[in-house]
């Protein structure tokens, strides 16, 4: 796994929004970035879990986090605009956006995939990142060094039988990343990438592979050096890339 130790408090005065922050990789990301001084906006559908993460961050870095319970499956575009307006009132700019939230959905052939579940999964995994990015782009543009990270999957880069809506949604996310990265590369300082974490010891992984021994997969905190690099000054030359946490090597990308 990639190793990188960022400067202490390298995220001071940086504001980063994380979706799916109540559990799994999203929670670990929030706790990790809090230790390095970030102001955090934490989105998730489970208010009780979000409050638990908030309490943990308060113990690490008091006054640095706010929570915003939001169920992407039922949120309207007006809800996203309201969120953006609220953030504009409290923060001068947004320096980071991590699209971590996702549903696994049914593991079944396309022929038998439940239509309602397909619609719900696309709402959470595809529409929500689109809506959220759309309304937050002005705030990201106001930053002089913003980063957007779409959390992807290996099945969103090479189709695999029985992964249904999850795989298709991650393919769509890759397309959104590439399109957006090409659009902003000459007009803003925003750097946009996708990251495939690989198999990780999370509840979603257990749901997908119930017979697997969880100890055979790395814990989420082992991925964090990659996140640190991508949000640090050193990672500013990486843009529009489909990255893999397991074999991440920043030397592959030529600095501009």
Structure tokens at 82: 């309201």
CA–CA distance, 90 with 67 (Å, rounded to integer): 13
Radius of gyration over every alpha carbon of the chain, rounded to an integer in angstroms: 17
* H-state helical runs in 16-160: 24-34, 47-60, 77-90, 115-122, 128-141
Q: What is the DSSP string of 96-125?
A: EEEE--------S-GGG--HHHHHHHHIII
The span from the CA of 39 to the CA of 12, in Å, is 8
Q: Report whether 191 contacts 179 (CB < 8 A).
A: no
- List, in sequence order, every residue forming a beta bridge with 150; answer none if it has no partner: 99, 194
Say which of 54, 80, 131, 166 is annotated catalytic.
Answer: 166
166 is catalytic: yes
Q: How far apart are CA 22 and CA 30, in angstroms?
A: 9
Long-range contacts of 164-167 (CB under 8 A, 24+ apart): 164/105, 164/106, 164/107, 164/108, 164/109, 164/110, 164/113, 164/118, 165/105, 165/106, 165/113, 165/117, 165/118, 165/121, 165/122, 165/125, 166/102, 166/103, 166/104, 166/105, 166/121, 166/125
What secondary structure letter does DSSP report for 13? Answer: T
User: Which are the catalytic amino acids?
Assistant: 166
């Amino acid at each position: 796994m990639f190793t990188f130790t960022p400067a202490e408090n390298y995220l001071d005065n940086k504001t980063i929004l994380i979706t799916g922050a109540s559990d799994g990789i999203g929670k670990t990301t929030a706790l990790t970035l809090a230790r390095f001084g970030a102001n955090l906006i934490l989105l998730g559908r489970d208010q009780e879990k979000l409050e638990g993460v908030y309490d943990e961050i308060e113990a690490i870095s008091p006054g640095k986090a706010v929570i915003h319970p939001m169920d992407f499956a039922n949120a309207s575009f007006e809800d996203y605009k309201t969120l953006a307006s609220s953030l504009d009132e409290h923060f001068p700019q947004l320096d980071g956006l991590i699209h971590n939230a996702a549903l696994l959905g049914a593991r079944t052939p396309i022929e038998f995939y439940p239509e309602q579940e397909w619609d719900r999964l696309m709402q959470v995994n595809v529409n929500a990142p689109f809506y959220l990015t759309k309304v937050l782009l002005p705030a990201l543009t106001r930053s002089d060094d913003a980063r957007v990270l779409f959390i992807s999957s290996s099945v969103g880069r090479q189709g695999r039988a029985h992964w249904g809506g999850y795989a298709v949604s991650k393919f769509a996310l890759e397309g959104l990343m590439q399109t957006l990265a090409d659009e902003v590369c000459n007009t803003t300082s925003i750097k946009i990438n996708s990251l495939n974490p690989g198999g990780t010891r999370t509840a979603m992984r257990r749901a997908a592979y119930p017979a697997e021994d969880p100890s055979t997969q790395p814990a989420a905190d082992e991925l964090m050096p990659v996140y640190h690099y991508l949000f640090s000054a050193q990672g500013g030359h990486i843009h529009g890339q489909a990255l893999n946490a397991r074999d991440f090597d920043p030397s592959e990308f030529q600095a501009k």
